Chains A and B, each alone.
Chain A
Amino acid sequence: MIHLPVSKASERIFKIDPDTAPTHDIREELFQLEKEGELEVIRVPEPYMEVKTKFGRIKKIPLEKTWHHKSCGQCGHIPGYSTSIFWLNRQFGLDYYDPTDQTSCTAWNYYASATSNPEAQAAVAIRNFAAAHEVGYFPLIHCGTSFGHYKEVRHALVHQPELRRKVRDIMKRLGKKLVVPEEVVHYSEWVYAMRDRIAERQVIDMSNITATVHPACHYHKLIEEDAIYSEEIYGAQRTAIITGVLEKLGINVADYSTWFDCCGFGFRHILVSRDFSRSFSVQRKIEVMIEEANPDVTVTHDTGCVTTLDQSQVAGQAHNKKVGLPVMSDSQMAALAMGAHPYKVLQLHWHNTNNKPFMEKLGIDVKKKWAEFEVECDQLKSGKKEFMSWEDAEN
């Protein structure tokens, strides 16, 4: 009998170590290109938090001077998502910038229809980065797909001199520079970096809540090395994003067997082949979560994931599937924990699945809160005021 020198599983230690990372640190290549005059790097402004990524490298997460690269799907269809991000910034008195000189990344269309090309995609990204740099702020990307796509754009620009030349020429004709941020930062990384401060300001006890987490594919699968990992969360074998925040809020994060699966969004599918999106979302995600973890809520951090997981449950209900699980973003959960208004700030009336039992479990008087929101709407209808202000939302 041959005895192989295999250590016991219990003795093996998996440790993330940047010295054994299988990839080069792209930031070193960026700074080298800057020295050669190929591009300009936008530095992460201070103050910033340092977090670990998949291979143990340190990533800087800016806390303020952030330029909010909004998401078309969030702002268009689930606007409480972005509103909660802004609300959190305001609560901490942080300097942030909500731009109008911003387009979407246009990557949703690119992944859906291929009616674009790498030059156009890179030029759109750099135009937005340049707009942030011109006003002295650092881009913070709200959408998971924009985040993943921009990391790919940065990767392509570093490794493809011809693409760099083309984009530099386009920027020159627009009167802009070829600028690339030192870090591509997703808003949920900012929420993660702020989790201790958020927990310090928590006013709603969430210790009776069980949640499942759905990490966005384009967050941790595209340029995977740039996602946040922590030894404290799943032993650094899965991304720590979202989970790290929820655990800090006292929430019980429950595991389920299809954690790695996508939400079913599909880019093209959610718009013109929704049978796929509905089926996958309900059968591979929502039903599995309910059967295996019986959560009160599922929390994710991307536009398409919230939309697909939430809206697909309508069809699931019609087919007597196990559905009825509220879907929220981590920004909404953090804001709710800090006492944000569920309708004026979280804007939960834009979500589809019934979230009232979840809020009632948290001790929130849903009827009272909705009545307060309706007062605001009545004032808008009567012309007493044109818009609801931040002051209205914060009172």
Chain B
Amino acid sequence: MVLDLSINKYSDVTYEEKERLFEEAKADDRWEHILYGCYECGICVAACPSARFYDFSPRLIAQAVAREDVDLVYTLMNDSIWDCSQCFSCDRCPRQNSPGQIITVLREVAVRNGLQTAKQALEGYGRIIYKIMSTGSQVSPDMLQPDAFPDWGKHVYEIAENLDIWRRALPPETLHTTETSWKVDDKTIIELYLIWHMTGVMDLIEGIDEGLFMILVDVMEERLEEAGYDVTFD
């Protein structure tokens, strides 16, 4: 899809609102360590995998934020940043910029403010957020199902059919699990939930997917209560 950079693209959003979001990004503690200006040399683009497959340019993003083009930053925050592969190949910037990290910060701002485009970018990703937030593990063996990975071929059928036996045929005792990647102590999960609570991460989830937030809150509050913690995420 061709990136539409016309000034009218987001004319329904006030300049003040766009500026507010940009200022939020600039206020991040990392900002001064990841942006030093831009030579427009294009080394970041040459190294970027996403630039080969999308109308995507880390140079464009570094330029926009370096010259503080508020309108352009807002457009990129909506229409471009989610194409980044987060490989940080662009960290070879001769000016010591990290376009990948600039994008990380812009993504956080987009999520924190519940931008519609961030919600769209993360559509279908909810089950992953549920898994990581509730178990501390991004993926699990039982996610290897043909309907989840149809493009991985018949091999996924074979794994799904043999999952229980093949997991028990693993020598490390910690790996005989199917719902998590390894056996995790109850107290470890409780500590993870307390970290989510103390760092306000659940607020981000609420901004992106309220239904998912409610499910997660139910799961976490129940386990925390069982463990003797009186914690609410509201």
State the A residues within 8 Å of B (CB).
70-77, 79, 82-83, 86-87, 98-104, 106, 108-120, 123-124, 127, 131, 148, 156, 159-160, 162-163, 170, 173-174, 217-218, 221-222, 224, 260-262, 264-269, 271-272, 274, 276, 278-280, 284, 311, 314-315, 344-345, 347, 349-350, 352, 373, 376-377, 380-381, 386-390, 392-393
| B195:A124 contact, CB within 8 angstroms | yes
| B85:A266 contact, CB within 8 angstroms | yes
> A112 is contacted by which of B88, B128, B182, B196 (Cβ under 8 Å)?
B128
Given contacts A87-B171, A117-B201, contact A160 B86 (CB under 8 A): no
Q: How far is the CB of B35 from chain A (nearest CB, A)?
A: 15
> A376 is contacted by which of B53, B107, B121, B169 (Cβ under 8 Å)?
B169
Looking at B16-24, B64-72, B152-160, B218-226, the stretch in contact with chain A turns out to be B152-160
Residue among B86, B168, B173, B187 having the largest count of chain A Cβ atoms under 10 Å: B86
CB within 8 Å of A: which B58-117 residues: 82, 85-89, 91-92, 104, 107-108, 110-111
B187 surroundings in chain A (CB, below 8 A): 101
Docked pose: A99 CA to B201 CA in angstroms: 26
| B169:A380 contact, CB within 8 angstroms | yes
Closest 9 CB pairs of A and B: A103-B136, A114-B107, A76-B181, A75-B181, A262-B87, A120-B199, A314-B153, A217-B87, A111-B86
A267 surroundings in chain B (CB, below 8 A): 85-86
Docked pose: A174 CA to B172 CA in angstroms: 29
Given contacts A260-B47, A264-B85, A387-B168, contact A100 B184 (CB under 8 A): yes
Docked pose: A55 CA to B199 CA in angstroms: 36
Contact count band on B: 35 or more
Given contacts A267-B86, A280-B52, A352-B152, contact A387 B176 (CB under 8 A): yes
Given contacts A115-B208, A264-B85, A387-B168, contact A109 B138 (CB under 8 A): yes
| B85:A70 contact, CB within 8 angstroms | no
Instruction: Provide the main secondary structure of the chain B interface.
Output: helix
| B88:A115 contact, CB within 8 angstroms | no
| B194:A272 contact, CB within 8 angstroms | no
Docked pose: A336 CA to B208 CA in angstroms: 46
A278 surroundings in chain B (CB, below 8 A): 151
Question: Is the CB of B174 closer than 8 A to any CB of chain A?
Answer: yes
B167 surroundings in chain A (CB, below 8 A): 79
Q: How far is the CB of B108 from chain A (nearest CB, A)?
A: 5
Docked pose: A174 CA to B158 CA in angstroms: 42
| B171:A268 contact, CB within 8 angstroms | no
| B151:A274 contact, CB within 8 angstroms | yes
Q: How far is the CB of A188 from chain B (nearest CB, A)?
A: 17
A378 nearest in chain B by CB position: B165
> B204 is contacted by which of A115, A344, A352 (Cβ under 8 Å)?
A115
CB within 8 Å of A: which B189-220 residues: 189, 191-192, 194-196, 198-201, 204-205, 208
A276 nearest in chain B by CB position: B53
| B171:A83 contact, CB within 8 angstroms | yes
Docked pose: A114 CA to B201 CA in angstroms: 10
| B195:A123 contact, CB within 8 angstroms | yes
Question: Is the CB of B228 closer than 8 A to any CB of chain A?
Answer: no
| B129:A109 contact, CB within 8 angstroms | yes
B181 surroundings in chain A (CB, below 8 A): 70-76, 104
Q: How far is the CB of A379 from chain B (nearest CB, A)?
A: 9
Docked pose: A87 CA to B194 CA in angstroms: 35
Q: How far is the CB of B119 from chain A (nearest CB, A)?
A: 11
A121 nearest in chain B by CB position: B199
| B49:A261 contact, CB within 8 angstroms | yes
> B29 is contacted by which of A160, A221, A269 (Cβ under 8 Å)?
A160
